[in-house]
Structure 1
Amino acid sequence: MSGLRYVYALCRPLEAPLQAQLTGVAGAPAKPLHHHGLVAVVSEVPEQDFTEEALRAHLEDLDWLAATARAHQGVIDALTVVTTPLPLRLATVFRDDSGVRSMIESREEHFRRTLDRLTGRVEWGVKVYLESERAEESEAAEAAEERSAPKAASGRDYLRLRRQQTRASEDLWQRAETFATGLHERLAAFAEESRLHAPQNATLSGAAGRNVLNAAYLVPRDRSEEFVELVDRTKDDAPGLRVELTGPWAAYSFAGELPGEGGS
């Protein structure tokens, strides 16, 4: 290789080969780099696109960023089919193979412990949304009630009406949060580990509705079907709510901050 080394993930030696035509970032083939019984999955990327200065410029180019993220995730997804990968952050690069090997050696015990904990497990994501239509209906009903109600005889009457409307809206949010809390407790009891993430911002995610649960669950691969069925059974208990299940993924939420990310 003559370019920089882009590192997607670390894993144990593969029991099955990677897809023959698996390509990663910049269209380069992804290849295993063996060192001390561990494997870094790498590809060659052009230096002019992955120096620190070039990456700063690329971060302003949303099309480039999206294409790179898709290619990166494609390699991680392929690895997840055949092994348990520890995915590194987007655009983790090193000068050469020696740099990658040095990174492995510097954190070898950490990598081995983390792989021991995660081997045979996958991550499932569960999100619960209060449907935007439901919230809008509640707000519209409040506005209609206010328009049709007799004009308040006093400021006290007006404040009482507003409190009633506010209470109805709060009840809607409370029911959604109560459902989400109960669902998380059931799923966390099934999973080996769980993580609660901050609710997604609808403006950034583009998802409809208000996100009231954004969680990840670490589940043994051979129990994934049971987990999926458990989530599916809850959907009928959630009128006005949308339950979304994603996965199985590499265990991003449970790998911790992998040392050595960022490269050189």
Structure 2
Amino acid sequence: MNGPAATATLTYVYAVAPPAPALDDLLPGLTGVAGTPVALLTPEPADAGPVAFVISDVPRAEFAEDVLAGRFEDLGWLEETARAHHHVIEALAAHTTVLPLRMATLYEDHARAVRALHEQSQPFTTQLAQLAAHTEYGVKLYVRHAAAPPETTAPDRTASPTPDDSAPAGPESASPGKAYLRARRAQRDAHEDRYQQAGIAADRVAEIGRLHSARHVAHPPQSGPLAAASMGENVLNAAFLVPDAEAQSFTAAIGAAAGDLPGVVLELTGPWAPYSFTALPRSPDPPSSATSTSQADTRS
């Protein structure tokens, strides 16, 4: 690095966006990660193109590569930074087409960022054209848990036999064990039925996506005790890129897709900026003193 200014900050890039007039009023009042102002970084006017970076100048002491690895182990810092990043993206998406970049996409300085902007101008422009007038929606499918049979109905097979136990079992003496087995069988049948319902719901979601979305992405199902306890087992976690003209039809169809399937729950989230539909080549000159990490999901 040369000079004090080069060591003070790094250039944090939130997204690619067209330098639209709508951003002129938005950006001056927008605050990003680490409480830093947000600005538009464009090439020199003589070389100005159809795309720009939305950036902040962030403290190198907090975002340098050797510091950032430890920062990502601090869950409080990670959540705060992810939320600030998401806030900027959503503010942009409300005013223009936006191509979100991963959290902690960093360059050494403005000059390096502008060079990357030049080198990837064509893919950026193509992606923005594909995303224009489209919005992302999420669809999650959960299988409800079948109720377990009461444990108290299970026969005690460890107790020592009494004289009465050795007698031939009559209808009344066998009923607790039979009731327990019937309950277990009913639970198993209900479990299988709910997975069959999930298959029907998944087919319906796929057909709705075919009719009303431009693209879709399948994410890994979410797991964890909190999600399982509240909703059931997540068996489908998909994102759909929906043309704005189809948004009402898409959301209405998803809302009705599982109405006759009591064993499953369909959850619709969004609208979101198109986080799931960013597929860009790696920059030929990636940040040399910082890293880019996957986007932490702060959307609910």
TM-score (norm 2): 0.75
Q: Tell me which residue corresponds to 2:73.
A: 60
Q: Tell me which residue corresponds to 1:6.
A: 12
Unaligned runs of 5+ in 2: 156-173, 289-300
Distance 1:169 1:242, change over 3 A: closer
Deviations 1:27-86 (A, max 9, x none): 111111112421100001100111111110101100000000000000000111111111
Contact 2:149 2:184 in 1 (8 A): no
1:165 positional shift: 5.3
Residues of 2 paired with 1:166 and 1:205: CA distance? 22
Residues of 1 paired with 2:227 and 2:21: CA distance? 37
What residue identity is the alignment partner of 1:70?
R
Residue-pair matches, total = 253
Residues of 1 paired with 2:213 and 2:185: CA distance? 41
- 2:236 counterpart of 1:227: no
What residue identity is the alignment partner of 2:33?
V
What residue identity is the alignment partner of 2:14?
Y
Contact 2:10 2:57 in 1 (8 A): yes
Distance 1:150 1:203, change over 3 A: closer
Q: Tell me which residue corresponds to 1:239.
A: 262
Q: Percent identity at matched positions?
A: 38
Q: Tell me which residue corresponds to 2:287.
A: 263
Contact 1:6 1:91 in 2 (8 A): yes
- 2:127 counterpart of 1:114: yes
1:5 positional shift: 0.6
Residues of 2 paired with 1:90 and 1:9: CA distance? 10
Distance 1:243 1:163, change over 3 A: closer
Unaligned runs of 5+ in 1: 153-157
1:205 positional shift: 5.6
Residues of 2 paired with 1:16 and 1:174: CA distance? 49
1:184 positional shift: 2.5
Q: Tell me which residue corresponds to 1:140.
A: 149
**Alignment partner for residue 74 of structure 1, among 76, 87, 93?**
87
**Alignment partner for residue 234 of structure 2, among 211, 226, 231?**
211
- Structure 1 runs, 4 residues or longer, greater than 4 Å off: 143-152, 160-165, 204-207
Distance 1:250 1:125, change over 3 A: same
Contact 2:142 2:264 in 1 (8 A): yes
Deviations 1:161-195 (A, max 9, x none): 97775444222222223222322322332111111
What residue identity is the alignment partner of 2:128?
L
Contact 1:10 1:41 in 2 (8 A): yes
TM-score (norm 1): 0.84
Q: Higher Cα Rg: structure 1 or 2?
A: 2
Residues of 2 paired with 1:54 and 1:149: CA distance? 66
What residue identity is the alignment partner of 1:6?
Y
Paired residue secondary structure (2:29): coil
Residues of 2 paired with 1:170 and 1:144: CA distance? 24
Q: Tell me which residue corresponds to 2:39.
A: 31
Residues of 2 paired with 1:215 and 1:170: CA distance? 23
